[in-house]
Homo-oligomer: A and B are copies of this chain.
Amino acid sequence: MSKVAWKGGALLGPLPPVMVSCGDGVQDNIITVAWTGITCTHPPKTYVSIRPSRHSYPIIRETGEFVINLAPASLCRAVDYCGIYTGAKVDKFARCGLTREPAQVVRCPIIAESPLSLECRVTDVIPLGSHDMFLADIVAVNVDDALLDEKGALHLNRAGLLAFAHGEYFALGPRIGKFGFSTDKGKKKKRK
């Protein structure tokens, strides 16, 4: 292949287009965000980067809490809608047919239709330019019991998650392998 040299750009993918819910029981909102990721395993930490002009920004800033709701491909239209319209003018829960559900730990609602929701508490707000980064602890997880097997193990592949890459939404396709498959030799089968 032949490479073309470009200047820097935010060209990473595929990313999770998640619905971030926020609020304190008085006001709430949903904003779709793809600028998110895991930043630490132990303790579990994540972030969302949000423009200060967005309606959800001051809500998260003031409450110090948000919920990352993973998005299945079946909710793609709601995901797109919640990334475009402002919560200042519309109740996105009502408009998208989404249901508020109480979280375990934070005051924000979780989205009942999401198969897996991460409750987050902000630890740092880092201004970076167009976006401020909200670094956060993942303090609780809510998971659809249909993703669990009889032993309680999580099968996230059952969620039919949505992916986002350079302005386009994709369903996840075929499973190619499991972490560690490149080492699978006969002798590895003895390991637990």
Chain A residues close to B by CB (< 8 Å): 1-16, 18, 34-47, 49, 68, 70, 73, 76-78, 80-81, 83-84, 101, 104, 112-113, 115-116, 118-119, 126, 128-131, 133, 135, 137-146, 148, 154, 156-157, 161-183
A137 to B128, CA, bound (A): 10
Q: Given the complex, which residues of B lie within 8 Å of A16, measured CB to CB?
A: 12-15
* A6 in complex: contacting residue of B10, B11, B142, CB < 8 Å: B142
A83 to B143, CA, bound (A): 27
Copies in the complex: 2
Let me know if A128 and B81 touch, CB within 8 A. Answer: no
Q: Given the complex, which residues of B lie within 8 Å of A7, measured CB to CB?
A: 139-141
Q: Given the complex, which residues of B lie within 8 Å of A70, measured CB to CB?
A: 12-13
Q: Which residue of the partner chain B has the closest CB to A80?
A: B182
Given A13-B156, A173-B171, A4-B131 contact (CB < 8 Å): no
Let me know if A156 and B163 touch, CB within 8 A. Answer: no
A83 to B178, CA, bound (A): 12
In the complex, the 4 A-B pairs of residues with the closest C-beta atoms, listed nearest first: A37-B37, A173-B173, A156-B166, A40-B128
Shortest Cβ gap from A188 to chain B (Å): 11
Let me know if B130 and A80 touch, CB within 8 A. Answer: no
Q: Which residue of the partner chain B has the closest CB to A165?
A: B156
A-B contact pairs, 13 of them (CB 8 A): A3-B101, A4-B143, A5-B141, A9-B138, A10-B138, A12-B46, A14-B15, A35-B41, A38-B49, A40-B49, A80-B177, A80-B181, A172-B172
Let me know if B128 and A39 touch, CB within 8 A. Answer: yes
* A35 in complex: contacting residue of B15, B38, B163, B182, CB < 8 Å: B38
* A3 in complex: contacting residue of B68, B143, B176, CB < 8 Å: B143
Q: Given the complex, which residues of B lie within 8 Å of A165, measured CB to CB?
A: 156-157, 161, 172
Given A39-B49, A40-B131, A118-B12, A5-B168 contact (CB < 8 Å): no
